[in-house]
Amino acid sequence: MNAKLKSRLEVAGIYLIIFIMFLVIIYPLLWVFGISLNPGTSMYSATIIPKNASLEHYRWLFTNQDSNYLLWYKNTLIVASAKTVLSLTVTLFVAYAFSRYNFVGRKNGLYVLMLIKIFPVLMGMVAIYILLNLVGLLDSLIGLTLVYVGTSIPTHAFLVKGYFDTIPRDLDEAAKIDGAGHFRIFFQIILPLAVPIVAVVALFNFMAPFMDFLLPRIVIRSPENYTLALGLFNLVNQEFGQNFTRFAAGSILIAVPIATVFLYFQRYLISGLTAGASKS
C-alpha cells in the first residue's frame, strides 16, 4: 500500500467516525423535535417528523393562560445573565491576581481552588440550603444566582488563570514603565488579549441555569420563581406524565438563547479552551 492510498484511507476513516458521531448526536435532537410537532400527547410516530405535524404545543406554551412558560423563561434569563456578569467579573479578577502577583497565601489559595473544584456541588447541598434559609434567600432568584456564582468561580478561575499565564509578562512591565497602573494594565492590555477565554467562561456560565434542574429543585419552592428546567418538570409531573409533547416543545426552545450565544462566541471557543487548559 503506497503512502497516498494510506493517507486517503486515514482521511476516509476520520470522516466516517465524524459522520457516525454526528448521527449519534443529531438523532435524539430530531426525535425530540418530532415529538414536539406531534399533536396530542403521543410520543410515537411512524416517521421522525410526523405527517400531521403541528405547532399546537408551541402555541399552547406562549398563549394558553394555564402556561407559565414565558415566566419560567424570563426567570431563567435573569438568573443566567446575572450569573454570567457576576461570575465572569469575580473570576477575571481572581484569576488575574493569582496569575500576576505573588502574595501571602497564593500557593495555598491555588490548592484551595483545586480542592474546591474537585468536589461536586452535591456534597454541599445541605449546607447551601441551611445557609440560604438563615440569610433569608431561600426560594428566591437572588439566592439561586449567588449559589451559581459561588460554585462556578473555582473551576473557571483556574481555567482563566491558565490563559493569563500564556500572556507574556513583558507587556505588563512595558506598561508599568509607561506609567500604567494595575487596573489600566488589566483592562487595556490583558482583557483585550484574553477575549477567547472570556467568551468560553461567559458561555459556560450562561448555559448552566438553562440545563440545571437539581439546584433549583432544592432552592426554589414558589411556582413564580421556577426556572425552565424546574417548570418543565412540574408541567409533566402535574399532568401525570401525559404531557411529554409539550415538554419536548419547551425543551427545544431552551436551545434558542444558548445557540445564539454560542454562534456569537464560536470563533473564540477553540483558542480559549486550548490555551486555558495549559498547565498552570
The structural domains of the chain, ordered by start, are 3-54 (no CATH), 64-276 (1.10.3720.10)
What's CA 232's distance to the chain center, in Å? 18
Closest CA to 69 of 231, 204, 198: 231
Q: What is the pTM of this model?
A: 0.84
Amino acid at the residue 175: A
pLDDT at 241: 55
148, 215 Cβ separation under 8 angstroms: yes
pLDDT at 147: 92
Cα–Cα separations (whole angstroms), residue 123 to 92, 116, 139, 147:
26, 11, 20, 13
What's CA 4's distance to the chain center, in Å? 43
pLDDT at 242: 66
107: number of Cβ within 10 Å: 11
HEC profile of 179-244: CCCHHHHHHHHHHHHCHHHHHHHHHHHHHHHHHCCHHHHHHCCCHHHCCHHHHHHHHHHHCCCCCH
3-state SS class at 5 = helix
160, 89 Cβ separation under 8 angstroms: no
Cα–Cα separations (whole angstroms), residue 102 to 86, 106, 127, 215:
25, 7, 33, 36
Per-position DSSP letters for 9-78, written without gaps between them = HHHHHHHHHHHHHHHHHHHHHHHHHHHHTSSTT----SSSS-TT---HHHHHHHH-TT--HHHHHHHHHH
95: number of Cβ within 10 Å: 28
- pLDDT tens, the chain, 280 aa long: 677 777 888 888 899 999 999 888 888 888 888 888 888 777 776 677 777 888 888 998 888 887 899 999 999 999 999 999 999 999 999 999 998 888 888 888 888 877 777 777 777 888 888 999 999 999 999 999 999 998 888 889 888 998 898 888 888 888 888 888 888 889 888 888 888 889 889 999 999 999 899 899 989 989 899 999 999 888 877 655 567 888 888 988 988 888 888 888 777 766 555 554 444 4
